[in-house]
Amino acid sequence: MPRSGLDPVTYELIHSRLRHAAREMAMILKRSSHSPIIREMEDFSCAIFAPGGESVAQDERIPAQLGAMSLAVQTCRAEYPDPGDVQPGDAFLLNHPYMGCMHTPDLNLVMPVFSDGRVVGWAGSTAHHVDLGGPTPGTLAPHHRELFAEGLIFPPIKLYQEGEENRDLVRMIAANVREPRGLVADLRAQHASCLTGERALLRTMERYGPDQVGAAFTEILDRTARQTAAALADLDDGEAVRTGHLDDDGLGSAPVPIRVRLAKTGRALHVDFTGSSPQVDGALNVPWASTRACVAYLVRTMVGLDIPSNDGLLAPVTITCPSGTILNPRFPAAVSVRHNTCQVVADTLIRTASDLWPARAVASSSVTFFGLQIGSKSPQTGETAVLMEVVGGGTGAHDHGRGIDGVDTYMSNVALLPVEVAETEYSVRILKSELVEDSSGEGLLSGGLGICREYQILDVPQIATLYCEQAVEEHRPEGVGGGDDARPTRVTILGPDGQVVSTASKTSSSLEPGSIIRVETSGGGGYGPASTAGTTSDMARSS
């Protein structure tokens, strides 16, 4: 019998309905959205929350948003503490990175769910929008030096009040972004997603009653905390320390250190980021919500993928992260390119955990996270359009098999922009999209292969902003257990005459028609000594 007193069958039925509600919310958002970053690349997440804001069910699409969305709900509760301030039909919009959110393009829309005049839960979604204004098309740029350069900033504000859209706010937002019709359509898709979650939660309340659903909320969090603690107890106690590096701070500095110390004792894990770089001048700082999500990712991957995604996951985990560092910056440090840092944090956490628990060791994956924004125009309408792309690489090999080719690794998990969509909606042509042979580390089992993509600018000059990691030889993905390291990432910009004009891994510039942007991302590291691989590695690759 669960500690909540809820019988096990009822608990499982309620929990299943909540998870299904989060999945249904996600499908509504995907199918109702306008922008390729949401409908094609699936850069969004949806969740159901308890009345106190704790996540109890989340659709698992973007690991970077695990453990992060609940902070946005809790910010809404803190900013609107008077019960009279929150009414049925209200929906709060927020994206402030220093108020529980991640970076400005990730807009959170959260809705309180009422039953019998009181809040019985919340439904929420977060989605990446292609442009929130600012000086750079796509809003994101490594050279930003403060948050105020990173587009519109929203503390919790009512986009919907008692079911009615705040038209003045919508008009203001539309006047400050480069793709207003798409952004407004996507916000309305997020609202539809929240309404779907609200209906599902209310139906669950009607079926089982608010008391049993409330007891299920408590049990979901408690059971996940117990499962995580039990899984930790099965691992060896010990301590390990690693330091990873960003290539630079976004402005061409020396490599930027990310230091991780893991200490596991009994049923508890401590994660300590002390010794990581002070906050940097560029836009690679990580707000607290994203740093917390990195730790949630480590726990899911190393402790148990069968453990549900909710706020109980981090109950047995403590985190030390000094204020004023790159992983806990002070306002108004820029954070728009924070995900590149998150990928390096994830890899450093995995490297440290592999040292601590060698039986679960895995080679490094590509953390290149090649991001590209092009301020383009629509070939169909001639209107301003912003292409947004993310190119992944190869995952690291491990004792269960070789790495996976050409995926968005670790905390991201978005899809490549389809060629047909890119060439239909933007004035670009994708000349090449293929795997990069010999980009992975060899070994008993080889890592996955990286991706080569070439983008040609068409018709008019266009501003392109790009950024990535692992373009430095010393920061290439590591092999494990004697496996070879993978090849680093290469970025090349060619002018219309075919001559190389840049090999910078972080840059923003206007490119003439005929210019080509080429990226060849890193693969994953190899597992096991290459000298013993023989035909095993060949067989693994052919499979």
Q: Express each pLDDT in 389-445 by its tens digit.
A: 999 999 999 999 999 999 999 998 899 999 999 999 999 999 999 999 999 999 999
Q: Where are the domains of the chain?
A: 8-226, 361-543
pLDDT band at 530 (very low <50, low <70, confident <90, very high): confident
Model confidence pLDDT, tens digit, residues 371-390:
999 999 999 999 999 999 99
CA quadruple 201, 205, 206, 207: dihedral sign:
positive
Q: In this structure, are residues 338 and 284 in contact, taking their beta carbons and an 8 Å threshold?
A: yes
Q: Identify the pLDDT of residue 532.
A: 59
Q: What pairing do the DSSP bridges indicate for beta strands 268-272 and 317-320?
A: parallel
pLDDT band at 1 (very low <50, low <70, confident <90, very high): low
Q: Above 70 in pLDDT, residue 90?
A: yes
CA quadruple 127, 129, 135, 137: dihedral sign:
positive
Mean pLDDT, residues 310-314: 94
Distance CA 468, CA 455 (A): 16
H/E stretch holding 509? strand 506-511
Q: Above 70 in pLDDT, residue 535?
A: no
Share of the chain above pLDDT 90, in %: 91
189 secondary structure, DSSP code: H
505 secondary structure, DSSP code: S
In this prediction the pTM is: 0.95
**5 C-beta neighbours (distance < 10 Å), count:** 12
Apex 6 CA angle, 4 and 11, nearest 5: 110
Q: Above 80 in pLDDT, residue 541?
A: no
Among the listed residues 100, 111, 128, 119, the one whose alpha carbon sits nearest the alpha carbon of residue 25: 111
Q: Above 50 in pLDDT, residue 252?
A: yes
Mean pLDDT, residues 46-62: 92
Edge-to-edge strands, sheet with 317-320: 238-246, 256-265, 268-272, 317-320
Higher pLDDT, 18 or 3: 18
The runs of H, that is alpha helices, within 209-265 are 210-233
Give the tokens for residue 300: 């899911």
Distance CA 201, CA 113 (A): 8
Model confidence pLDDT, tens digit, residues 7-38:
999 999 999 999 999 999 999 999 999 999 99
Question: Out of 29-33, 196-200, 208-212, 539-543, which region has the weakest mean confidence (pLDDT)?
Answer: 539-543
223 secondary structure, DSSP code: H
Higher pLDDT, 309 or 455: 455
Model confidence pLDDT, tens digit, residues 334-378:
999 999 999 999 999 999 999 999 999 999 999 999 999 999 999
Average pLDDT of the chain?
Answer: 95
Q: Is the peptide bond before 332 cis (omega within 30 degrees of 0)?
A: yes
Distance CA 266, CA 538 (A): 41
Q: Above 60 in pLDDT, residue 536?
A: no
Q: Above 90 in pLDDT, residue 91?
A: yes
* Burial of 380: CB neighbours in 10 Å, binned 0-12, 13-18, 19+: exposed
Q: Identify the pLDDT of residue 2.
A: 60
Q: Identify the pLDDT of residue 303.
A: 84
* Burial of 414: CB neighbours in 10 Å, binned 0-12, 13-18, 19+: buried
Q: In this structure, are residues 422 and 130 in contact, taking their beta carbons and an 8 Å threshold?
A: no
pLDDT band at 543 (very low <50, low <70, confident <90, very high): very low
